[in-house]
Amino acid sequence: MGIFARMTDIFKANINDLIDKAEDPEKMIKQMVIEMEESVNKTTLAVAQAIANEVGLHKKIEKAKKDSQEWEGKAIQALTAGREDLAKQALERKSLFDRNSGDLIPLHQQAVATTQNLRIQLDKLKAKLDEARMRQSTLIARSQAAKAQKQIAQSMSGVGSDAFSKFDKFEQKIEKLEAEAQAFEQLAGENSSLEDEFKKLESNTSADMELLALKAKMGLLPKSDNE
């Protein structure tokens, strides 16, 4: 009866419960189907043995009845021949076979009941096995789906997110490098502008002095009060 209890667990259990109870629910389902097949094979063998026992008892009963009839015929034959002593011996043999058949009849009846019971159990086992085989692929598919959902949930909740975390840190490092590069470019631009302004200033001063010198040469400068 243990196999029936285990089969009931398969059909009634939720796939999430299977995941909690077994490290590999798919392997567990396949193993239980194998156990059902083994149980069917054992029960089939038991039914075959019970049928063989039933048939054997039936044959023994029929032979005992036939022998009883034969010895009764011999008793009649002996009486016809006036041999009461032989008739008596023949009837004793007949009585022996009668007792033998009488003892075998209840055994045969019990064998018949055992065979019927085993046949019923075998039919139930075969029905359960057929159902398990049909549902096996469905249960395995549900198990795989549950595993996938669990992995996704773990990733979303931060479990196993090392890769994402490293990716974010790497992106932040790149952004920092880009910002530093832009800062250096701005500093370089400011230094260049400052140098250009000084160069312009120097250039303007030189041009002013040359202009004054030319004006003095041409007598275009205004005369000072001391002159």
Q: What is the pTM of this model?
A: 0.50
DSSP per residue over 85-123, as a string? HHHHHHHHHHHHHHHHHHHHHHHHHHHHHHHHHHHHHHH
Q: Report d(CA 57, CA 213) in Å as an integer.
A: 150
Q: Is 162 exposed, middle or buried (0-12, 13-18, 19+ CB in 10 A)?
A: exposed
Percent of the chain past pLDDT 70, that is, above it, reads 71
H-only helix segments in the chain: 2-12, 15-21, 25-80, 84-156, 162-217
Q: Return averaged pLDDT per consecutive 10 residues of the chain, 227 residues in all.
A: 51 51 70 86 91 95 95 94 93 94 94 93 89 81 78 65 67 77 68 65 68 73 61
Residues 6+ apart with CB under 8 A from 85: 78
What pLDDT does 1 receive? 46
Q: Report the SS3 class of residue 138.
A: helix
Q: Would you state the structure tokens that stand for residue 114, as one six-digit string? A: 């055992």
pLDDT tens digits for range 107-133: 999 999 999 999 998 998 898 888 888
**Residue 148 CA to its chain's centroid (Å):** 12
Angle between helices 84-156 and 25-80 (to 10 degrees): 170
Q: Report d(CA 197, CA 168) in Å as an integer.
A: 44
